[in-house]
């Protein structure tokens, strides 16, 4: 019999609904797994044991009373520590919010609760979601379950690692330039960034408001689809939330890849790219052809401008959003300040880490008088060109397939002192945020060192269904789930 903490979202929910296991039994199994494994992985910032058991108990009482169960009833999930969670520490991986406890839930968190999900805790992350390795957290150093000497990716590294290490059935992350897809790739799990506007951002602590998006990790593509089904949909509390119906994503999964036109952008396979990544993605493309997809080369000509454009737009928005952390309203307040100006300086100096300070300074510079037109305005124009590249491509294809990352997981310390090298880890993902498109990363192979390789599938705006069709078909064909990370060697 499969361990209780190894089931998919659908399997776990069915087990609870049938009475095959109680939600409390399943919750205890996951909490035991967290106690056994998390000292090695350090995926969690906060474990909400009492709250999780209480939520599981409510699910069991509903089942026993014959009341209808939600679509995630009894399913243990983890939440990235950038999403406000009522009554629980929400630090954003930063000292400046150490001890901050929101009085309300983010909309996506509230919807998980309403669906019967059991929230196990908050996961570690790069400070204010600024990073690609989770090395920028002011707290723990989350480790990759496949190799503890390597990073799990970022900024949602804790959420990806928790799912990969069987510490949660699924998890929520956020994606500003690749922060769901990149750690999903490095940890060997599926992870989706939905279309901008598909999921409410209310209660998400902002990094770059025109780029941030909430999305799920799961063990399978179906897990991702079922969690997205719950959190997606219009929210009047978020002005950027789209007033569109949410399709039945799970129903799209069996439709397969046959007849889909798949574009492969030549710019995403540059000379000198890691050969194992290149080989695994191209093998997956051949698998797509066997499944009946028509694969052909396309061009996204403005791709080379994506990284500089992203790091102008994102840092400018970060500089504005993070101005609220001043030591006055909430969070850290530095002692010993003689006046308001020194309070601001002392608080921000003590509370923010090096990467956050770097991005605030970059953003302040590009928004300053005399530089706004030269940098920020020009970046917005290039962003439009990037979006038009995709619009033109989608006149010819139904989905676009690329590598998710240029390499597999790198070692701790390998890039942290070279910001440009770290930023290039997101070279294949930032364009998707700039264009506001949906995309998923699924594992498609292993390197010779048994590290996961990720494949990215990009779709038209609000066409997550087509992405799920192709992703589920490839997942079944590639059978990556037969592989287990090193941390799972205890079973």
Helix or strand or coil: residue 255?
helix
DSSP annotation of 485: -
Give dist(CA 157, CA 191) in Å, integer. 11
The answer for 104, left when phi > 0, alpha when psi is -120 to 50, beta otherwise, is beta
Q: How far apart are CA 201 and CA 83, in angstroms?
A: 9
DSSP three-state, residue 455: strand
Which sign, positive or negative, has the C-alpha torsion 325, 330, 332, 337? positive
Q: What is the DSSP string of 331-395?
A: S---SS-SSHHHHHHHHHHHHS-HHHHHHHHHHHHHHSTTTIIIIIIHHHHHHHHHHHHHHHHTT
* Integer Cα distance of 243 and 94 in angstroms: 34
> CA 164, 165, 168, 174: dihedral to nearest 10 degrees?
-40
Answer yes or no: 80 catalytic. yes
**Residue 288 contacts by C-beta under 8 Å, 6 or more apart in sequence?**
257, 260, 262, 295, 401, 470, 473, 474
Residue whose C-alpha is closest to residue 128's, from 119, 136, 116? 136
Q: Answer for the pair 169, 219: CB distance below 8 angstroms, yes or no.
A: yes
Q: Which of 22, 80, 137, 441 is catalytic?
A: 80
- Which candidate in 137, 159, 179, 441 is catalytic? 179
Marked catalytic residue, from 94, 133, 137, 155: 155
Q: What are phi and psi of 269, to 5 degrees?
A: -130, 60
Q: What is the dihedral of CA 419, 421, 427, 431, to 10 degrees?
A: 20
Annotated active-site residue 155? The verdict is yes
Letter string b/e over residues 104-116, b meaning 16 or more CB atoms within 10 A of that residue's CB: ebbbbbbbbbebb
Cα–Cα distance for residue pair 446/443, rounded to 1 Å: 8
- Name the residues annotated as catalytic: 80, 155, 179
């Amino acid at each position: 019999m499969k361990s209780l903490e190894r089931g998919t979202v659908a399997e776990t929910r069915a087990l609870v609904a049938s009475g095959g296991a109680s939600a409390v039994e399943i919750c205890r199994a996951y909490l035991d797994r967290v106690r056994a494994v998390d000292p090695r992985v350090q995926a969690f910032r906060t474990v909400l044991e009492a709250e999780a058991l209480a939520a599981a108990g409510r699910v069991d009482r509903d089942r026993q009373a014959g009341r209808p169960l939600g679509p995630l009833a009894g399913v243990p999930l983890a939440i990235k520590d950038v999403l406000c969670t009522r009554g629980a520490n929400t630090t954003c991986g930063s000292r400046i919010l150490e001890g901050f406890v929101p009085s309300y839930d983010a909309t996506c968190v509230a919807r998980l609760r309403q669906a019967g999900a059991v929230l196990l805790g908050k996961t570690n992350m790069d400070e204010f979601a600024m990073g690609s390795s989770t090395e920028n957290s002011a707290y723990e150093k989350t480790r990759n379950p496949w190799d503890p000497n390597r990073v799990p990716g970022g900024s949602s590294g804790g959420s990806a690692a928790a799912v990969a290490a069987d510490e949660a059935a699924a998890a929520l992350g956020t994606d500003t330039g690749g922060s769901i897809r990149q750690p999903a790739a490095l940890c060997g799990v599926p992870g989706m960034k939905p279309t901008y506007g598909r999921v409410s951002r209310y209660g998400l602590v902002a990094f770059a408001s025109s780029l941030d998006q909430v999305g799920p990790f799961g063990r399978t593509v179906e897990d991702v689809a079922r969690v997205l089904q719950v959190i997606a949909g219009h929210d009047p509390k978020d002005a950027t939330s789209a007033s569109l119906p949410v399709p039945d994503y799970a129903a799209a999964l069996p439709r397969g890849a046959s007849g889909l036109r798949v574009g492969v952008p030549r710019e995403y396979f540059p000379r000198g790219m890691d050969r194992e990544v290149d080989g695994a993605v191209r093998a997956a493309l051949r698998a797509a052809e066997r499944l009946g997809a028509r694969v052909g080369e396309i061009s996204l000509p403005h791709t080379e401008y994506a990284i500089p454009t992203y790091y102008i737009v994102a840092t400018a928005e970060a500089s504005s959003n993070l101005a609220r952390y001043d030591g006055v309203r909430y969070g850290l307040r530095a002692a010993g300040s003689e006046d308001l100006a020194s309070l601001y300086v002392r608080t921000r100096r003590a509370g923010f880490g090096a990467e956050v300070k770097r991005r605030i300074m970059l953003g302040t510079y590009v928004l300053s008088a005399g530089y706004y037109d030269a940098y920020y305005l020009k970046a917005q124009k290039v962003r439009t060109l990037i979006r038009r590249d995709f619009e033109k491509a989608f006149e010819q294809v139904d989905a676009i397939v690329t590598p998710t990352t240029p390499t597999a997981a790198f070692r701790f310390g390998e890039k942290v002192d070279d910001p440009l090298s770290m930023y290039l880890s997101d070279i294949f993902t930032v364009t998707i945020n700039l264009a506001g498109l949906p995309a998923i990363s699924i594992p498609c192979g292993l390197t010779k060192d048994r590290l996961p390789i990720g494949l990215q599938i990009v779709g038209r705006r609000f066409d997550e269904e087509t992405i799920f069709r192709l992703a589920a078909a490839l997942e079944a064909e590639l059978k990556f789930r037969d592989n287990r990370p090193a941390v799972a060697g205890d079973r």
